[in-house]
Amino acid sequence: MNRKFSSGKLVIASHNAGKVREIGELLAPYGVDVVSAGDLGLAEPEETGTTFVANAELKAHAAAQASGLPALADDSGLAVDGLGGDPGIYSARWAGPSKDFQAAMALVNDKLGNNPDRSGRFICALALAWPDGHCETFEGVVEGDLVWPLRGLAGFGYDPMFQPKGHAVTFGEMDPNAKHAISHRADAFRKLVAACFE
């Protein structure tokens, strides 16, 4: 039996403004008052996990302990088949300390070279942790193909190079509401909401 979220305030265990905004929009219908770990001045824990789920749990537990509030963490990234699943859990690190995702996307494209296999997926793991140590985890996936040159200015991260299966546009070209309906984060959120918010 999943534990239900009952208090109004929820810490989003992230310092990424784009991610915090997207999560806030997804939770808005449930009357959740979100505050980011960055706004609370919480330190970012070192991501030492070897999977998206492990890193999400690590971040959620750290934020819940530090704030005394339930905390939701997301660990997500791009797994490229032609690169053996890279950048995977290192997706943000490929963008470097300055979070230069233009450079990260160029690196993915350069490493792929002439590889005809340009398939990949965005994976999102969500962990909802309480200060008492209880944690619920959920994972979502969206399959797609990588395009070059980049297309679109919407979204964030690797969105301008990712074209989800069954669509003619990249996440970077897609209306945010359309992306929210089909993204890896939306997939994981559907599972989270059904388990903990409804």
Please state, rounded to an integer, the average pLDDT across all residues of the chain: 94
Of 75, 86, 159, 187, which one is the catalytic site residue?
75
Tell me what pLDDT residue 16 has: 81
Split at pLDDT 50, 70, 90, the class of 24 is: confident
Tell me what pLDDT residue 114 has: 95
Tell me what pLDDT residue 178 has: 92
On the question of pLDDT at 7 being above 80, the answer is no
Instruction: Give the DSSP letter string of 59-76.
Output: HHHHHHHHHSS-EEEEEE
Active site (annotated) includes residue 81: no
Name beta bridge partners: 162. 146
Split at pLDDT 50, 70, 90, the class of 20 is: confident
* Closest among 89, 84, 83, 76 to 16, alpha carbons compared: 76
Tell me what pLDDT residue 198 has: 85
| pTM score of the predicted model | 0.89
In three-state secondary structure terms, 84 is coil
Over range 10-37, report the average pLDDT: 87
Neighbour count for residue 42 (Cβ, 10 Å)? 21
Over range 76-81, report the average pLDDT: 96
Per the listing, tokens 């984060």 go with 185
Architecture of domain 9-196: Alpha-Beta Complex (3.90)
79 with 120: CB under 8 angstroms?
yes
What pLDDT, in 10s, does the model give residues 89-147? 999 999 999 989 999 999 999 999 999 999 999 999 999 999 999 999 999 999 999 99
